[in-house]
Amino acid sequence: QVQLVESGGGSVQAGGSLRLSCAASGITYSAYCMGWFRQAPGKEREGVAHMNPFGRTTYGDSVKGRFAISKDNAKNTLYLQMNSLKPEDTAMYYCAAVSWGLGGCGQYKHWGQGTQVTVSS
C-alpha cells in the first residue's frame, strides 16, 4: 500500500522560508515521478514542482526561482524548499507520485493528505 505523508508546513511571515518533506512507503522514489501541488480555498489545484526519476525538474511560473524540489532516494523522501514566501503562496500543499512508464510521467496516482502553509504579510 502506497502512503505519502507530508510535513513541514506552518505559518511564516512574507519573505521567510519553509521546507516541506514527503515521506513515502510502498514506492521507490528512484522509479517514480514526484510532484508538489497546492490548493488555496476557492481556487483550483495548482502544480508547483515536479521531478522525474532521473532528476529533471519543472516548476510552475509563480514559484520559479523561489522554490526548489529535491529528493533523497535513500530516505525515500521528497522535499520542497520554499524561499521568499509571499502571502499568495498560502495553500494546502500536497505531494503526489506516479510510476515512470513508457510514456514518461503520466497522471499522478498517489496523493498525500497535505500540509498547510500560511504566509502573512
Q: What is the pLDDT of residue 35?
A: 97
Per residue in 40-90, pLDDT (tens digit) is 999 999 999 999 999 999 999 999 999 999 999 889 999 999 999 999 999
Spatial CA neighbour of 98 closest among 41, 37, 40, 38: 37
Q: What is the pLDDT of residue 28?
A: 83
Query: For residue 30, what pLDDT band results from cuts at 50, 70 and 90?
Result: confident
With 90 as the cut, is the pLDDT of residue 104 above it?
no
> Cβ contacts of residue 81 below 8 Å, gap of 6+?
17, 19, 67, 68, 69, 70
Using the CB atoms, write b or e for 87-116: b if 16+ within 10 Å.
eebbbbbbbbbbeeeeeebeebebebebbe
Question: Which residue has 516541506 as its cell numbers?
Answer: 20
With 90 as the cut, is the pLDDT of residue 118 above it?
yes
d(Cα 82, Cα 84) in Å, to the nearest integer? 7
The total of other beta-carbon atoms located within 10 Å of residue 55's CB is 10
d(Cα 41, Cα 50) in Å, to the nearest integer? 22
